[in-house]
Amino acid sequence: MTDLGGRVAIVTGGGRGIGRGIALALSSAGATVVVSGRTRETLDDACAEIRSRGGEAHAIVADVRELADAERLVAETVTHAGRLDILVNNAQTYRHALLLDATEDDLDATFRSGPYAVFRLMRIAHPHLAASGHGVIVNFGSGAQLMHDGRMYAVYAAAKSAIESLTRYAAVEWGGDGIRALMVMPAAESDGTKAFRERDPERYAEMVGRVPMGRFGDPEHDIGVAIAWLVSDEARFITGSTVMLDGGQMFTR
């Protein structure tokens, strides 16, 4: 079983969906988890579930779009837990629109919560991750980057592609500091996919039908558990890679 005992992780967007599943899986592997996001109620609920399983969790309300919040998130984590070993940049606001319909506000909202936030948090966390001896960054891509017909996803895919570049270069530049950087591309059930299923069940069924395994992943057991292994010492030679956690959806179609 993956052992993350004694390690401290930040999970942004950790109050619900995939982020919550990751927080639960990291905690189950022994990590102390700082669950961060903009909504106190969802963060407290996630922490309560972690504690009910015997784990240790702390909620920090922060908006990753704001530099001051990003700095406070890392500072409070280190003050409270004494260290930082794992940074999971899951939070992301997104807007879907055709290129001719997309606005400057759509671009700004998507990039501020995506590559700008990842850039800031990685840099702010760097000295603490380097000091830990086990520092790992996990960033998130999207299947939208690989769609053969990605209409409506141009702005979102561009943001995710920027994050992929930041991840690769962090792996190159910071490997000597003992820091690994990875990107994952998940396909999982979340609040967004559930809402999509209710709104457009036929298209949802079409999307699921493109997954060879016939379903989307479970946020905790299919996505979170895999990430818990990736940030453990068992995966200590994996860095700079993009790992598909999508049931074969993209690379087999």
What type of residue is 4? L
Let me know: does 51 contact 250? Beta carbons within 8 Å. Answer: no
Count of C-beta atoms within a 10 Å radius of residue 253: 12
Please give the share of the chain, as a percent, with pLDDT higher than 70: 96
- Stretch 93-97: mean pLDDT, rounded? 84
Q: Is the pTM of this model over 0.75?
A: yes
Output the CA torsion sign for 129, 134, 140, 146. positive
- Output 109 or 248, whichever has higher pLDDT: 109
- Stretch 162-175: mean pLDDT, rounded? 98
Point out which residues pair with 137 in neighbouring strands: 87, 181
In a domain, 204, yes or no: no
Count of C-beta atoms within a 10 Å radius of residue 178: 15
In a domain, 203, yes or no: no
In a domain, 227, yes or no: yes
pLDDT score of 204: 81
Task: Point out the catalytic residue in the list 94, 156, 169, 204.
Answer: 156
pLDDT score of 199: 75
| Residue-wise pLDDT tens digits, 178-232 | 999 999 999 898 877 787 788 778 878 888 888 888 899 999 999 999 999 999 9
In a domain, 153, yes or no: yes
Helix axes 104-111, 154-174, angle to 10 degrees: 30
pLDDT score of 95: 83
Give residue 37's Cα distance to chain centre.
12
Point out which residues pair with 180 in neighbouring strands: 136
Q: Is the pLDDT of residue 116 over 60?
A: yes
Q: How many residues does the chain have?
A: 253
Helix axes 117-132, 154-174, angle to 10 degrees: 30
Question: Among all chains, which residue has been given the structure tokens 């049931």?
Answer: 247
Let me know: does 141 contact 93? Beta carbons within 8 Å. Answer: no
Q: Is the pLDDT of residue 62 over 60?
A: yes
Catalytic site residue 156? Answer: yes
Q: Is the pLDDT of residue 161 over 80?
A: yes
In a domain, 252, yes or no: no
Q: Is the pLDDT of residue 253 over 60?
A: no
What is the b/e burial string over 202-237, where b = at least 16 CB atoms within 10 angstroms of the residue's CB? eebeebbeebeeeebbebbebbbbbbbbbbbeebee
- Joined together, the tokens standing for residue 233 give 């010492």
Q: Is the pLDDT of residue 82 over 60?
A: yes
237: phi then psi, degrees, rounded to nearest 5: -105, 10
Q: Nearest to residue 91, comparing CAs of 117, 73, 72, 71?
A: 117
| Residue-wise pLDDT tens digits, 125-160 | 999 999 999 999 999 998 767 766 667 788 999 999
Q: Nearest to residue 69, comparing CAs of 23, 127, 120, 114?
A: 120
Count of C-beta atoms within a 10 Å radius of residue 83: 17
Provide the CB-side half-sphere exposure for 41 (13 A, CA). Answer: 0
- Stretch 12-38: mean pLDDT, rounded? 97
In a domain, 251, yes or no: no
Report the CATH number at residue 129: 3.40.50.720
Q: Determine the Cα–Cα distance for residues 209 and 219; give it in Å rounded to an integer.
A: 19
Q: Nearest to residue 138, comparing CAs of 226, 49, 252?
A: 226
In a domain, 250, yes or no: no
In a domain, 127, yes or no: yes
Please give the share of the chain, as a percent, with pLDDT higher than 90: 76
- Segments forming the whole domain that contains residue 109: 8-190+220-241
Q: How many domains does the chain have?
A: 1
